[in-house]
Amino acid sequence: MKWMKGMGLLLISNILIMITLSLTVPIVINVILPMFGVDVRGSVDLTTLVWAGMFGFGGAFISLAFSKQMARAMLDCQQITQPRSQAEHLIYGSVQEIAQRLHIKMPEVWVYNSPDPNAFATGPSKNNSMVAVSTGLLQNLREDEVKAVLAHEMGHVYNGDMFATTILAGLMNTFVYYIAMWVRRFFAERDQAALGFGLSILVQIIVSILASIVISWFSRRREFGADAFAAKVYGKDSMIAALRAIDRWVNRAQFQYATQDALATMKISGRSGGFMSLFSTHPPIEARIAALEEL
């Protein structure tokens, strides 16, 4: 099956990354760093690093490989294969047109029941992806605005944003696991295993929070790129109009998008402010509109 092929390629990539780490890390530790007066020999356990990498990258890649299946399982959705209504023709035709322009395989097209106007794209690669739109998007946006949103999601697909985010998440997870495992080993060697276990959990929580800030920042940058892609395809005015329409709906419904939303990284809209904006996967709509107007 094609999804198994995609998963296999991702797992092979994961293995190659770990092999590369196992070859380069000893050189960095034993040769390069001492040349600059930094000696961490004996402090860095390569075996621990490899295990941390396997957990960090392995979990991230497995999540990516099954991202389409997980998204469908979490939503009340139906796939469009033979468009019947005008709305289905609009969605399917727009995705098909953009895919043909980009010379990539047509993504799966889905519609899910939700009152909020939103859309997302996910999948292991640009030739193995899905694009889904909410019923609220179709009900609250004009045709040109819906097409702009679809172009935004196709921008994520073509730019490989899901894969790039997975690589970053795997790297961040590796650091989280390694630091936590190092703390546990450090105290275990001093016959303080219980203390080390408790501290490792605390450290893992703190470092995970810091890592999520980095991942969220990266996600926000990718949103600007997807907006710019939509502007190239259908013009910036349509994308700006779509964002304003979404913002009007959010204000009217007084709907706050929670950072804990399981599909937050997939959605086109988002609202945040203050300290919590560091954990937002999407920039404020006004910032996105300003960026589009400068194009």
Which pairs with CB-CB distance under 8 Å and at least 24 residues apart come from 137-140?
A: 138/87, 138/91, 138/111, 140/245, 140/246, 140/249
* Alpha carbon separation from 282 to 59, 216, 254 (Å, rounded): 23, 8, 18
Detail the DSSP E strand segments found in 113-252. 119-125, 128-134
Short-list 26, 15, 112, 11, CA closest to 65: 11
- Active-site annotation holds for 286: no
Tokens 């600007």 correspond to 224
Is residue 123 a contact partner of residue 129, using CB atoms and an 8 Å limit? yes
Please pick, among 145, 153, 293, 294, the residue that the annotation labels catalytic: 153
Tokens 């997302």 correspond to 120
Active site residues: 153
